[in-house]
A and B are shown apart, each in its own frame.
Chain A
Amino acid sequence: NAGVMQNPRHLVRRRGQEARLRCSPMKGHSHVYWYRQLPEEGLKFMVYLQKENIIDESGMPKERFSAEFPKEGPSILRIQQVVRGDSAAYFCASSPQKGAGEKLFFGSGTQLSVL
């Protein structure tokens, strides 16, 4: 039973390019969360999605960032026109239901570096 799979593990982009981060939740999980971790900081919530729906995007920057979780396929976090300040580790977590607590599992993250 594979865990939460994120790819790529490392992504290098130049300023102005687009970054696409993918997250495949654990089997049977239909709730996906994205968090961002800046150096020397804790994780900060970005967005919570269920299949085909954005439930809570209160942590998403107003511009350049978007997320989706289609009916088929992985969840995608998309960052347009990246800037150096976007460099961070991006973690995805999944759970089988809302309020799952102990059933919330994190992936190993995507380290985004913006040159």
Chain B
Amino acid sequence: QQQVKQSPQSLIVQKGGIPIINCAYENTAFDYFPWYQQFPGKGPALLIAIRPDVSEKKEGRFTISFNKSAKQFSLHIMDSQPGDSATYFCAASNRFGSQGGSEKLVFGKGTKLTVNP
């Protein structure tokens, strides 16, 4: 059972465009929603994260929008650059659970983003 569904699988935009990647989750116990960026041959690196008590978080060109009632969250990349070309993963965990939380992350399947010059 896939607990975090991510779409699209791949995405191609022109430089300066605003790619949007969407994720939906099922487990209402999730309380931490990070996005990771992965370049070929490298491990995932944390990009930005949000908790469900806010609807939006922005860090530089990256913005997470969160809709708790719909159990959906999305990543927007403003003014995308060729250097943003990578695979992006959404994830979720019960980090702040009553028993001390967990780093057991449940990942989406990833979105391969290509930003053309």
Residues of A within 8 A of B (CB): 4, 31, 33, 35, 40-45, 48, 56, 58-59, 91, 93, 95, 98-102, 104-109
Contacts and interface: CB of A to CB of B under 8 A. Distances in A.
A98 B103 contact: yes
Where chain B touches its partner, the secondary structure class is: loop
Interface in B8-55: 32, 34, 36, 41-46, 49
Given A99-B103, A106-B45, 11 more contacts: A33-B103, A42-B107, A42-B110, A48-B102, A58-B104, A98-B102, A98-B103, A101-B103, A104-B46, A106-B43, A109-B42
Contacts of A100: 103
Contacts of A42: 4, 6, 89, 91, 107-110
B108 to A, nearest CB: 5
6 contacts: A33-B104, A91-B44, A99-B101, A101-B49, A101-B95, A104-B46
Contacts of A41: 109-110
